[in-house]
A and B are shown apart, each in its own frame.
Chain A
Amino acid sequence: MNSKVSAWRAALVALAIFVGFIAVWESLATSGAGTTTVDPEYAALVGQAAATGGQTPFPRPSDVAVRLWELVRDPFYVRGPNDQGIGIQIGYSLLRVTAGFLLAALVAVPFGFLIGMSPLLNAALNPFIQVLRPVSPLAWMPLALYTIKDSAVSAIFVIFICALWPMLLNTAFGVASVRREWLNVARTLEAGTLKTAWRVILPAAAPTILTGMRISIGIAWLVIVAAEMLVGGTGIGYWVWNQWNNLSLADIVIAILLIGFVGLMLDRALGAVARLVAWQE
């Protein structure tokens, strides 16, 4: 079907698309910087849009670029709880995602092992997993807030819940589908259950487990934005909501770009780990 295309040609087309997109955007976005019709001091207080009294202009690419430079130049400043650098916000989000993800891994991998190794447990737990899996993690939020009574921990809990299922199911699947012959080798070698689990099943299932982890971290990063919008305080999700309240559309565009970029990095990082444990027949 598709013959291989050289990387530079693909890059050239991508660049052309990007340039075209930027050009269309630039031309469509009305340069409504507008004239200040009110007192400059008032304008400084209420923000540009309110001050012009007109509609907030959609930011042009150049506006976004300028704003991005401002944000990236000093990402870690703290000027009170409502004004912190973009780096700090992303840091908070990453912290929550990491904590929730690690907790989920701590639970999902051992339980996945049990489910994968025991057909009985697999059959017994399957209905619960199938019912709980499709539930949006945000639906857990009120329960979490009520029981945990701490919004920061609740956000981590939501991440934990959403990251749990893919890891659990993939671990169980990976463990259950370890080749019969490798298990037979372990059996004829009289390797104990722990040794078999550690030296045979875990490495054999590792690529499948890592696939589950990649899916989990992707979902966790999707969910964190929504969760932080709800719990507030810190994090990139909260920052997006805050900038919406400030009507700083350029900041929201920037946030979208950054969320995408960080998500890509997370996926790449787990992809690198997956390559480490991958094996080839």
Chain B
Amino acid sequence: MSDLHPYVSVEAVTRAYPGHTVFQDLWFGVNRGEFVCLVGHSGCGKTTVLNILAGLDKPDSGGVIVDGTEITGPSLDRAVIFQGHALMPWMTAEQNVAFALSCRHPAWNKAQLRDAARAALEKVGLGAAADRKPAMLSGGMKQRVGIARALALQPKMLLMDEPFSALDALTRGGLQDEVSRLVMEANQTAFMITHDVDEAILLADRILLMTNGPDSHIAEVVQNTLPRPRDRANLHKLPGYHQLRDHILEFLLTRSLALRGNPMPGWDRRALPVVRPAGAREHAPPPEPDPAPVPPSAVAVVPRPVSTTPVTKPKRKAAMNDAKTELGHKILKIKKKAGLKWADIAARIGMSPVWTCALCMGQMSAEPHHARGLAELLGLDEEEEATLCEFPYRGAQPMPPTDPLIYRFYELVLVYGTTWKDMIHEEFGDGIMSAIDYDMIMERLPDQKGDRVKLTMTGKFLSYKRY
């Protein structure tokens, strides 16, 4: 892995239409065998990035270098899995793959093409459906054929344009696991664009976060340090998963907008800031939930669900990090003296006011570049800058619930959904910034028609307006 000469290198790429700059002077690289995801909202130009990588679109300036050669157009070496599968409906699944193969190997005869196409379809579990036309295949099967077609080419690089976004959740999950497996097996260099956070966490080694458009930029690179192999069933049990997920979600919800045309101080387009919300890659792969204390995270509010049958007190003895609390009081004073608003401070580090307030008040841990920005603005010393980066809680994380029904619910609410956030949002509106010291108590209520789970939330909710 060499940062100096990545396998694929996007250099100073600009794409603009008259009166509308999609992005300018974009730099990033993809290393050999690496899986990189580009995450951003619709309209931020991520499809344009992919089309330029594929050679389907041309940059106005700058270029893309793959394996030492600048690309000039589309190539068999950069296979694309399209969003809408893009199978030819007049060909069977096998003919679709064979057509691609015939372009790769013009000398092959029909039998060779057929055998290779069959083999490629077998790999994605579609051997039995090879003779069916796309109209006779389900959405997931069609996308499998698209994947088989791309992988059969044995490309230097695999490009994926939101390949699963048109599929239902169940099919999508299965395909994500499968792509994860296939890409790992082939040690395939891959670049994917998506707006599905879990998908990015499952598949990517690095996640590029792109701000909203127009004139978007890549705000930072998130290193996904979660151990491989990952699969959806165990992903949420990996230590650091929630921190990683919250970090990306937070970016999509607030910072992607705040940072538009307004990069963070110290941001360098040629050396993008790298963050590791899930911690350094040092833990051995533990597929089971780890009962040992896990360091809290970049984002302080780690849900602490507790299974209770019947209600029990949560097993938590988390204490606030006093140094951070003290620093919070100091920052409040500085802020008052300087007549600053949270929005002003937030603008400095390119985060939302709510997030910045929480960070300053000791509710979250800062990334080093955020801490640097805050220290510069507020005149903090080095020790205080380090305190900003510390974790807000000292304590143990609770065990996931053991009751299977409650566990299922816990998964639904906390892992797959953002229901609790929606609930808080409805209650308190935009002024709410985070919940502290809150408990979630899940009770199993026996019912003849099927047991139900009652969720009770108690806690303090930190309001942005309070400060």
A contact set with B: CB distance below 8 Å = 179, 181-182, 184-185, 187-191, 195, 199-200, 203-204, 206, 277, 279-281
Contact = CB atoms under 8 A, between A and B. Distances in A.
A281 B90 CA distance: 9
Contact of A190 (B74, B82, B99): B74
Contact of A280 (B78, B99, B135): B135
Chain A to chain B: the 7 pairs with minimum beta-carbon distance, closest first: A279-B90, A189-B103, A181-B86, A279-B89, A280-B135, A187-B74, A203-B90
B184 interface: no
Contacts of A181: 82, 84, 86
Given A188-B76, A189-B99, A190-B74, 18 more contacts: A181-B84, A184-B56, A184-B74, A185-B82, A187-B56, A187-B74, A188-B55, A188-B56, A188-B74, A189-B104, A190-B75, A191-B103, A195-B103, A199-B99, A203-B91, A206-B90, A279-B135, A281-B134
B269 interface: no
Nearest to A207: B90
Most buried by B among A182, A189, A200: A189
A200 B460 CA distance: 62
Contacts of B294: none
A258 B156 CA distance: 65
B378 interface: no
B343 interface: no
A200 B76 CA distance: 17
30 contacts: A179-B86, A181-B82, A182-B86, A184-B54, A184-B56, A184-B74, A184-B86, A185-B80, A185-B88, A187-B56, A187-B74, A188-B54, A188-B74, A188-B76, A188-B78, A188-B79, A188-B80, A189-B74, A189-B103, A190-B74, A191-B103, A195-B103, A199-B99, A200-B88, A203-B90, A204-B88, A279-B89, A280-B133, A281-B134, A281-B135
Contacts of B55: 187-188
A204 B54 contact: no
Contacts of A204: 88, 90
B100 interface: yes
B86 A190 contact: no
Interface in B213-268: none
Contact of A184 (B82, B103, B104): B82
Contacts of A188: 54-56, 74-76, 78-80
B103 A190 contact: yes
A195 B89 CA distance: 17
A234 to B, nearest CB: 41
Given A190-B75, A191-B103, A281-B134, A185 B86 contact: yes
A280 B89 contact: yes
Contacts of B88: 182, 185, 200, 203-204
Interface in B45-91: 54-56, 73-76, 78-80, 82, 84, 86, 88-91
Interface residues of B, number: 25
Interface string B131-152: 0011100000000000000000
Nearest to A181: B86
A106 B57 CA distance: 35
A212 to B, nearest CB: 18
B83 to A, nearest CB: 8
A181 B75 CA distance: 15
B76 A189 contact: yes
A198 to B, nearest CB: 11
Nearest to A190: B76
Contacts of B135: 279-281
Contacts of A185: 80, 82, 86, 88
Interface string B82-110: 10101011110000000110011000000
A95 B451 CA distance: 79
A281 B136 CA distance: 9
A141 to B, nearest CB: 40
B386 to A, nearest CB: 49
Contacts of A190: 74-76, 103
B213 to A, nearest CB: 21
A185 to B, nearest CB: 5
A281 B84 CA distance: 12
A184 B84 CA distance: 12
B144 to A, nearest CB: 16
Contacts of B104: 189
A206 B103 CA distance: 22
Nearest to B51: A184
Contacts of B134: 281
Contacts of B84: 181
Contacts of B82: 181, 184-185
Contacts of A199: 99
Most buried by A among B55, B79, B84, B89: B89
A191 B103 CA distance: 6
A144 to B, nearest CB: 39
Nearest to B101: A189
Given A279-B133, A280-B135, A189 B86 contact: no
Contacts of A280: 89, 133, 135
Contacts of A179: 86
Most buried by B among A179, A181, A182, A200: A181
Nearest to B76: A190
A181 B55 CA distance: 14
Contacts of B91: 203
B146 to A, nearest CB: 9
Interface string B120-139: 00000000000001110000
Interface string B167-186: 00000000000000000000
B147 to A, nearest CB: 13
Contacts of A187: 55-56, 73-74
B77 to A, nearest CB: 9
A86 to B, nearest CB: 41
A53 B78 CA distance: 89
A49 to B, nearest CB: 59
Nearest to B99: A199
A196 to B, nearest CB: 10
A271 B332 CA distance: 80
Contacts of B54: 184, 188
A192 to B, nearest CB: 9
B100 A189 contact: yes
